[in-house]
Amino acid sequence: MNRWTLPLLLLLAPLLGACGSKEASETALPEYQPKEGWTPECIGRHLVDVPEPIDLGAARLTHMGMSWNENEHGSGVEKRSDPLGGGITVAGLNLLETVPLQDAQSFDEIWYRADRTYRIDFLRDGGPSSERAEREKQTQKHQLPDHAYIWRHKDTVDFSTLVKADMRARILFGKLSGEGSLQQARAVVDQLWPRFSTRKPGEWPKDKAGICTPYGFIADPEGLTERDQSISLAFVSPQHPGLKLRVTITTNNPKTMGVMHSPLPIDQRPTPWEEEAKWAKERREKCRPQQGTASRDLFGCAFAGARDIRRWRDVQFVKLADGQVARLLAYENNTGLLGDEAYTVEIETAGEPDSAAAPQISVSASAYVPNPEKPETASRKPPPLDEAIAVVKILAASVRPRPGAIRPDAAVRDSLEGVR
């Protein structure tokens, strides 16, 4: 053994994935029972028990700029769903729901500044007195609701409106086909927005077909079931402040899932550690050590094959309330150097292609790692991995179809096909 062998092994030991059996085993989810301190909430077309009080996050008013930053004292909207990450898309359009606003004037001012900042096709209600006549003409022609704004920039549509029922702003944005036009943007809004209504957390329309957002409800169009949805929401349980819990419900097709889409059944999909090992091997093969001393060669290529996942549990398979088979993944990460989450637990299904009744479902927990430079994170010490697995199992067992969410006789289609 030469003088570099031992240091090399010590360096790479925590970066190499520890072995875990590749053979899958079967396990059963705990029988669903209401949990104290948790209450049913509507997510997409499903019900899920979440911690009380229900707070699944909302976008915040921020500085308006080409890059949407996180300055809460500015004048714009931060394009994210909640502080923990997540997102909402319905019919191929992204949706944001903001925290409640104090007054309509602040909302109007935000979007008026946007109009004057960018040269874009724009429709709005009201405006400075010198422009009011033209604005009123446009509003009357297009019948925009109060405090509503539409603009089209190249092939992108943005629609923003203040809903006075709960004083939350809603923002729809997404891509248009072709070069796009203001008329096309307006047609998209006209197809989708009239089906929106507000709701309070923990309440939802009973036996009504449609999709729940955190603070709203989008009814299905007459005679159709809206096909495409992706609802990803994260939250923290008071009992487990060190865990970031997430529920994601997504239609299984390339349109909604993008590069994450896979046609493989759940029992044939590679695990995260298998994917990571493949990428690490490719990086190592492409690496060219720096010329020079042995130490430079060591640090020039040693990290090319570095891996975030260091240890994992055997894959298990469970069945959810909607009948779908899901796999349970649990793995530990290298923190500090490559990541900031101690471990990840996930129960996920593949979802049936283009199905509204059997979408892809993912229930996961990621462990926060306390930051020594931030004393307020000291309470975020993650529980043991086995305890996190138990929490994810209980959460997954509570995911069940909402009664009446789908009309059995309605065709499943993209309602904006040919419009967007």
Q: CA 410 to CA 225: how far, in whole Å?
A: 6
Is residue 35 pLDDT above 70, yes or no? yes
Is residue 250 pLDDT above 50, yes or no? yes
Residue 7 pLDDT class (50, 70, 90 cuts): very low
Helices 294-301 and 5-12 pack at an angle, to 10 degrees, of 20
Is residue 407 pLDDT above 50, yes or no? yes
Q: Judge if 80 and 129 occupy the same domain.
A: yes
Q: Judge if 194 and 252 occupy the same domain.
A: no
Q: Judge if 67 and 49 occupy the same domain.
A: no
User: In this structure, how many other beta carbons lie within 10 angstroms of the beta carbon of residue 351?
Assistant: 23
Last residue of a domain, one of 136, 165, 200: 200
pLDDT in tens, 199-230: 998 999 988 999 999 889 999 999 999 999 99
Q: CA 234 to CA 201: how far, in whole Å?
A: 15
Last residue of a domain, one of 200, 227, 242: 200
Is residue 9 pLDDT above 50, yes or no? no
What are the residues whose beta carbons fall under 8 Å from the beta carbon of 278, sequence distance 6 or more? 270
Give me the residue label for tokens 């929106």.
Answer: 196
Q: Judge if 164 and 225 occupy the same domain.
A: no
Can you give the residue range of the structural domain that contains 358? Answer: 1-56+209-420
Q: Judge if 177 and 235 occupy the same domain.
A: no
pLDDT reported for residue 6: 34
What are the residues whose beta carbons fall under 8 Å from the beta carbon of 86, sequence distance 6 or more? 57, 80, 232, 233, 234, 246, 248
Q: CA 244 to CA 368: how far, in whole Å?
A: 7
If one compares 77 and 195, the residue with the highest pLDDT of the two is 195
Residue 86 pLDDT class (50, 70, 90 cuts): low
Q: Judge if 166 and 236 occupy the same domain.
A: no
Q: Judge if 167 and 262 occupy the same domain.
A: no
pLDDT in tens, 42-83: 999 999 998 887 777 655 544 333 223 333 322 333 333 334
Share of the chain above pLDDT 90, in %: 31
pLDDT reported for residue 31: 84
Last residue of a domain, one of 200, 231, 257: 200
Q: Judge if 147 and 278 occupy the same domain.
A: no
Q: How many domains does the chain have?
A: 2
pLDDT in tens, 256-313: 887 778 889 999 999 999 988 888 787 777 776 554 445 445 555 666 666 788 899 9
Q: Judge if 173 and 267 occupy the same domain.
A: no
pLDDT reported for residue 146: 64
Q: CA 26 to CA 405: how far, in whole Å?
A: 30
Q: Judge if 139 and 25 occupy the same domain.
A: no
Q: Judge if 16 and 90 occupy the same domain.
A: no
User: In this structure, how many other beta carbons lie within 10 angstroms of the beta carbon of residue 184?
Assistant: 18
Is residue 169 pLDDT above 60, yes or no? yes
Q: Judge if 36 and 181 occupy the same domain.
A: no
